[in-house]
Chain A
Amino acid sequence: MGVYTATALISVVVVLALELLWWRTGILTTWRYWLAMAIVLGFQVPVDGWLTKLSDPIVLYAEGDMTGVRAPWDIPIEDFAFGFGMVTLAMALWVRESRRETA
């Protein structure tokens, strides 16, 4: 547990709170959101895996700022919270913009 672990978890909570309490696009209750997120997750593994592989890393992490758990391959598990929050934010903002356009 470290700063990255904590901020990654907080980012997910903040994004979910923005969606559920403020924007209320309803995206979290749709099939297309969860199917899309599953596909995104599937592609995160090779891309993130390439960036973080310990044999020849592009991104280097301070192990003290995270749990140190890396899976699959050498991906810090915090990256999955980071990615989930970021992509969910993008999708919620996108749908919110569409509502504004049609409003």
Chain B
Amino acid sequence: MDQGQYLLLMAGCLAITLPLELLLGARVWRRPKRLLRTIVPLVVVYSIWDAAMIARGSWDYSDRYTTGILLPFAVPLEEVVFFIVIPICGLLTLEAVGSVLHALGRLRDGVPLGTVLRELPAGVPERERQPA
């Protein structure tokens, strides 16, 4: 159980951010292709940096709290999971904040609270999405 601690922490991060997708209309998990195109280059770049720092001895990982599964260049499995999970949590936060700001704008425009709350899980309608 101890050896799974780092991975469990990452699973916890995914679990705690899931309501952002389900209740606040983040629509990150529902865009798998875009998510993949965002995450893959990031994972590649950060894994290279990580591998270099591990090779240099800048940091190391507890044998007790990691699975011991090593990917090429001695990068622990957990690290790659980290480079996938944490950016996804960030994207969910970004989109959920966008949804909430959009909902607040609708309230200001006089849309009834019940309607705004009912529509919140759908997120920002496609036609109203700002590029940034």
Residues of A bordering B, CB below 8 Å = 2-4, 7, 11, 25-27, 29-33, 35-36, 39-40, 43, 47, 50-51, 57-62, 65-66, 83, 86-87, 89-91, 93-95, 97-99, 101-102
Contacts and interface: CB of A to CB of B under 8 A. Distances in A.
A92 B88 CA distance: 13
Given A3-B58, A50-B9, A62-B58, A97 B38 contact: yes
A94 B49 contact: no
Nearest to B59: A61
B4 to A, nearest CB: 11
B90 A91 contact: yes
Contact of B101 (A25, A32, A60, A98): A32
Contacts, number: 117
Interface string B82-94: 0100111111011
6 contacts: A3-B56, A40-B90, A40-B93, A59-B60, A86-B42, A94-B91
Contacts of A26: 131-132
A64 to B, nearest CB: 9
Main secondary structure of the interface of B (DSSP, over half): helix
A66 B58 CA distance: 9
Residue among B66, B83, B97 with the most chain A CB within 10 A? B97
Contacts of A50: 9
A35 B86 CA distance: 17
Interface in B103-132: 129-132
